[in-house]
Amino acid sequence: MIEMDPDEVRKRFGKLFSKKFLTLVDERKRMCEIIEECSVKGTVEWDVVNRLRAGGIVEKAWTDGKILHMIARIGNEPVSFGPSSIEMGGQALESVEIKNDEVYTKWAGIAGGGLGLSACLAQSPGVKRVIYPTKKDLEEIGGAHASRVIVVTPEMQKLIVGIDDTDTKEEGATWFLALKIGEELDKMRGVEFLDHRIVQLNPKVKNKTTNCVSICLTLAVETKKMEEIKKLVIKRVGEMTKSDDTALAIFTGIEIPAGLKEYGSKVKSEIIDLDLAKEIASKNDVQFIKITGEEGFIGALASISYSMSGLEAAALFDDPALKRKGHLQ
């Protein structure tokens, strides 16, 4: 067994192409989300297809440009691993294990798939250290060789913050406030700013500013810093808001519950009251935070349901403009 830190891997193989590697866990549901970023998107597309083909603990995977997202179960299961074919993947996630605030992901790769893991991913920002089970796994990488590597990362969780009603008709913009806070947090150790999404709400509601949108921020936060970061977000929204109705919805978890998704759809097309929002939040483990008022919670909660969506977040319910262009089914 050979243990190395990313700098040592970089010295051995030269600086390679992986830009980010994060492991977000939900221990209650025994799930892990793995996020990787590469310098080009073709590599992550190949990785997704081969890891899905290999199976095992991998539930699903997708790409967003040069970024790969993969949802896996915590644990280990047999994989269909070998030279890439219709039955097997040339790259596989064999196990996910959590020990002492660290996540251990064990990988297998063959030929170029092995080089991508053992030399490239192993030196990625976000990695604490890597373990090569045998000397062969370090020295025989690429070509026709199969190799394995264990990548150790800090245990992180996904923090999704819904924000609404921070502006007035005279000043402010919620998307602007949220983006500033996200970028501030991204400079902190133990925090990664993953996404900022503008969610279009029903423009027919009476209590709104001009465009009637809410915002969600998605962050990866080291588990041991989670409460500190929540308090900081609450503090900064309170300092920056211009409205008397500002509220936050806070959710920690990898997958959005079905009940919350259903609520989000309703907020785009119906008039929702605050009592229903509070009821849905309670049933789906969402924290309600009053900043200067409560009305903002309706939209803040809805934004969480669209945190992993694309154009659906910015669209209106059953949006005819996007349907004509083929962007919504």
Quick check: is 325 in a domain? Answer: no
Question: What's the confidence (pLDDT) of residue 255?
Answer: 94
**Which of 108, 127, 154 delimits the end of a domain?**
154
Does one domain contain both 261 and 144? no
Question: What's the confidence (pLDDT) of residue 328?
Answer: 57
Does one domain contain both 43 and 64? yes
Question: What's the confidence (pLDDT) of residue 327?
Answer: 61
Does one domain contain both 144 and 177? no
Q: Do residues 34 and 44 lie in contact, with contact meaning Cβ atoms separated by under 8 Å?
A: no
Does one domain contain both 82 and 229? no
Quick check: is 329 in a domain? Answer: no
Does one domain contain both 147 and 179? no
Does one domain contain both 183 and 314? yes
Quick check: is 38 in a domain? Answer: yes
**Which of 122, 154, 186 delimits the end of a domain?**
154
- The interaxial angle of helices 274-283 and 296-305, nearest 10 deg, is 40
Quick check: is 61 in a domain? Answer: yes
Query: How many structural domains does the chain have?
Result: 2
pTM given for the model = 0.92
**Which of 109, 124, 154 delimits the end of a domain?**
154
Q: Do residues 267 and 131 lie in contact, with contact meaning Cβ atoms separated by under 8 Å?
A: no
Quick check: is 326 in a domain? Answer: no
Closest by Cα among 131, 147, 150 to 23: 150
Does one domain contain both 48 and 101? yes
Does one domain contain both 71 and 46? yes
Quick check: is 312 in a domain? Answer: yes
Does one domain contain both 309 and 240? yes
The whole-angstrom separation of Cα 295 and Cα 281 is 14
Does one domain contain both 102 and 13? yes
The tokens 């890597």 sit on which residue? 130
- Residues 6 or more apart in contact with residue 249 via CB below 8 angstroms: 161, 162, 281, 286, 287, 288, 289, 297, 300, 301, 303, 304
- Residues with pLDDT less than 50, the chain: none
Question: What's the confidence (pLDDT) of residue 97?
Answer: 98
Burial of 68 (0-12, 13-18, 19+ CB in 10 A): buried
Quick check: is 247 in a domain? Answer: yes
Predicted confidence (pLDDT) per residue in 192-242, tens digit: 999 999 999 888 777 666 668 899 999 999 999 999 999 999 999 999 999
Question: What's the confidence (pLDDT) of residue 212?
Answer: 84
The domain of 96 spans 2-154
Quick check: is 328 in a domain? Answer: no
Does one domain contain both 21 and 162? no
Does one domain contain both 150 and 11? yes
In this structure, what CATH number is given to the domain that contains residue 285? 3.30.70.2200
